[in-house]
Chains A and B, each alone.
Chain A
Amino acid sequence: MDKLLGNGMAGDLAGKRSLLTRVMGGVLSLLAMGGIVITIAAFAYGRNAARQSFDRILLGAANDISESITILEGAPIADIPVSAFGLLGLAQDDRIYYSVQGADGTVLTGYDGTIEKGALRGNLTEPTFYDGKMQKEPARFVTVARLFSERNFSGAVYVTVGHTIRARNAMALELTKGAVVVTGIGGLALLLGAFWVIRSSMKPLETLTRDLSERDPYDLTPMSAEGPAEVAVMVHALNRFMHRLDRQVEAMKHLISDTAHQLRTPVAAIRAQAELAIEDDAARRLQRLERLAKRTRSLGTLLDQMLSRALVMHRTDNAPPVLIDLRDIALHIFEQNDHELLSPETEVNLSIGDLAVPVLADEISLVEAVKNMLANAIRHGVSPVVLGVSQDQGHGMIWVQDQGNGPPPEVMNTIGQRFERSAASKGDSAGLGLSIVYAVANAFAGKVLMQQADTGFRVTLMLPLQQKGTGL
């Protein structure tokens, strides 16, 4: 069964992605998105850079040509310098367009055709760049104007120079490539760095995971709570949980060993009495049977107490404490009238005040504890017994007082321990009852007081008093 469960869990775990994988996946996709954005930006930048630098070449060539224009016999004549074409030749594999046109658009020299007439006209003072086509291939053009005011020629001559954009595209691509390579290397470095940082910061988690998976299921010792706050909190919670588990396991063990220990003697006594009763003659058999009955009763009481102690232990660990008025507890026990059954001759009085005495506790555990206190007083004390509730200096107190002198000093020393051999062997354990009281006091941050006063012996269960009006 355990094995099956274990396998199933392992299968589930294997199907789940580790935290590192998730985070790295996230980082990777973030970087990838960044990379795409940077690539687009780099391409835009590269295109812009290529456009600017090649536009300057175009403009240089256009100006070169425009400078070479002279007016010869009333007509503008261009003496196209080779350097202009050398400049354009810097865009190595690009075809070239140039055209020198008069104010009316007639081509003086150069190519005719593919030109946007609109760019020529108007008051062209600044060089005008524009995109166009050269024999169906995308191209870039610039037009500059040169104004002449000669005796025999006055007006503008337009020089248009263009080239196809292969070199521009190549340059833009080159720049983009460079940027992308650098970005890629940077991204890789970032990724490695991120991997390292994430891994090292997840180390405590990994350690925790390893510790947990390697841990013996029966090992309930606390784990070391080193590492960052988040992990410490987890480990702390885990430890708390394990501690509780440990306590319960411990309580269970105690219950079993107590039960074995405490029951063995009285059961042996009962068996002895029964055997004696069988063997004895008829006259003494009645006496034997009475003893047998007494032993059996006492065993019943013992069982009651052990079970109620187990109940208290269980409840204090499992039931959340609630706000309780101690007077209600006292009243409840008094009205149940158990003491009438236990010892009809004992007189029991109730002493409670007007004011509520609120404490945080578990009602059932509290009732068990007080019942035990009362039972002890009735059994061992001197009538009359008083069950009282009072408050003093921030403590709510529920107490039982009798007129006797309390238990003998040697009993007082061992009182409140889990069990007392002597008490158990006598068949009516007061120690077990008190140990319940102690357990309840511990569970709800209270304490047990035993006082010998002039008026008698008082056992008090003190619990921290809760503020009035908090929900009562």
Chain B
Amino acid sequence: MTGIALVRWGLVLLLANAVVSPAIAQEIVTKFTTPSSVADTRLVIRSTTDTVIFTPLLKAFVARYPNVELQYEQWGSNDLYNDSRRVCDGQGASADVVISSGVHQMVDLVNRACANAYRSALTAQLPAQRMWRDELWGITREAAVIIYNKSLVFADDVPLTRFALLDLMRRSPDDYRGKIATYDIEASGLGFLFAFMDSQQATTFGGLLEAFARVDAVATCCSAEIIASVESGRYKIAYNVLGSYVSTVPHANIGVIHPQDYTMFLSRALMIPKAAPQKETAAAFLDFLLSAEGRALLAGAELIQQSDNDETARSNSTDRYIPIDPTLLVAMDHHRRNRFFAEWRDSFSIQTR
């Protein structure tokens, strides 16, 4: 990384992209270049991942490819999906790479023939459940965890499983009333996906929803906000938080639980839109992420988490992957979503921002 400096390293807040979508737009745009050379290729990445988390990786990429000027746009998952749909229909400028944690939305985009196929020795090494049609690739491996405030939850009460969480809420509802948070699934594609997968995984989900309703659990937005609130003590426990966000920055006061009944693992999905202007560079970026160097950087950013971690004391048989395949399309079904949302709304008092 020596000799690399960022020319325009900083957060540029854009309020709107006037041409494409006046109402919704990317939140943050960051540009990465290598100062010593003149960039002749501009690679646009639209992603749901926080820029800060991805920065080391993006820096390493432009160091490897000095002729590339990398534009990293951070989006919300639902906005990114809608934008990609519009681009797919031929409206607006296409990104070269789209990365989203809303894997079901990505599967839907691929199913709508919005993606470009690519195949290399590195993509071929991916397991089948992390790849679909050579158009969608799962580049990370992140656990959905339960976090709790160490000073507010007694050591004996720490729920190591969903059943324990359920029991805890039944046993002492008053202690946790309004103190349990999870993603607002209507606002967050990732939150919806986690909840939806939970509903398929086990019958616990019905019980959980019921218990959430009894303790007036809060559905709110955004990983960073939830984590900060747990640390500050506003919430005691947060359910289904993306583990990578918790681990990136050390939080002394936060305990992380990989639920022992099962732990869900998410692979952020990457696709190269069919209208991408720089398909070759985009493919090079994908290969870079899948290469040993890229994987090491992702692991450094906690985006690839190994499950055989002694600390978490889980057996691999409890790992559940969110497979990148067409079954996720069910999560996009209009009726199914409406029904799911209806059940959800019944349980939660939606926390409006």
Spell out A's residues near B (CB within 8 Å): 77-82, 84-86, 88-89, 92-93, 95-96, 98, 100, 108-111, 134-137
Contacts and interface: CB of A to CB of B under 8 A. Distances in A.
B336 A95 contact: no
Interface in B325-339: 325-327, 329-330, 333-336, 339
A88 B333 contact: no
B278 interface: no
Most chain A C-beta atoms within 10 Å of own C-beta, residue among B128, B133, B134, B335: B335
B110 A80 contact: no
B193 to A, nearest CB: 13
A80 B133 contact: no
A108 B132 CA distance: 27
Interface of B: 110-113, 128, 132-134, 200, 325-327, 329-330, 333-336, 339
A77 B335 CA distance: 6
B326 A108 contact: no
Contact of B132 (A79, A88, A93, A98): A93
B113 A96 contact: no
Given A82-B200, A95-B110, A89 B325 contact: yes
Contact of B329 (A78, A85, A92, A100): A85
A110 B108 CA distance: 11
Given A85-B330, A109-B336, 8 more contacts: A79-B336, A81-B330, A82-B330, A85-B326, A89-B325, A89-B326, A89-B327, A136-B113
B106 to A, nearest CB: 13
Contacts of A95: 110-113, 133, 326
A78 B339 CA distance: 10
A283 to B, nearest CB: 134
B228 to A, nearest CB: 35
Contacts of A88: 326
B339 A77 contact: yes
B327 A93 contact: no
Nearest to A78: B335
Nearest to B134: A93
Contacts of B110: 95
16 contacts: A77-B335, A79-B336, A80-B333, A80-B336, A81-B330, A82-B327, A85-B329, A85-B330, A89-B326, A93-B132, A95-B326, A98-B329, A110-B333, A111-B112, A135-B112, A136-B113
B323 to A, nearest CB: 9
Nearest to A77: B335
Nearest to B131: A93
A88 B111 CA distance: 12
A82 B327 CA distance: 6
Contact of A137 (B113, B128, B329, B335): B113
A194 B113 CA distance: 53
Secondary structure type dominating chain A contacts: mixed
B254 to A, nearest CB: 34
Contacts of B132: 93
Nearest to A166: B133
B288 to A, nearest CB: 25
A85 B326 CA distance: 6
Nearest to A108: B335
Contact of B113 (A77, A100, A135): A135
Given A89-B325, A93-B132, A109-B335, A80 B330 contact: yes
A169 to B, nearest CB: 14
A89 B330 CA distance: 12
B334 A110 contact: yes
A356 to B, nearest CB: 102
A92 B327 CA distance: 11
Contact of A86 (B134, B327, B333, B336): B327
Contacts of B133: 93, 95
A84 B111 CA distance: 16
Nearest to B113: A135
A96 B335 contact: no
A86 B328 CA distance: 9
Nearest to A88: B326
A163 B331 CA distance: 18
Contact of B333 (A78, A92, A135): A78
A22 B91 CA distance: 68
A92 to B, nearest CB: 8
Nearest to B132: A93
A109 B330 contact: no
A85 B327 contact: yes
Contacts of B329: 85, 96, 98
A136 B113 CA distance: 9
B334 A109 contact: yes
B113 A134 contact: yes
B4 to A, nearest CB: 39
A64 to B, nearest CB: 11
Contacts of B330: 80-82, 84-85
B274 to A, nearest CB: 10
Nearest to B199: A82
A77 B338 CA distance: 10
A95 B128 CA distance: 16
Contacts of A136: 113
Give me the 9 closest cross-chain CB pairs, A-B, nearest first.
A135-B113, A109-B334, A109-B335, A85-B327, A80-B333, A93-B133, A78-B335, A89-B326, A95-B111
A80 B335 contact: yes
Nearest to B117: A93
B339 A79 contact: yes
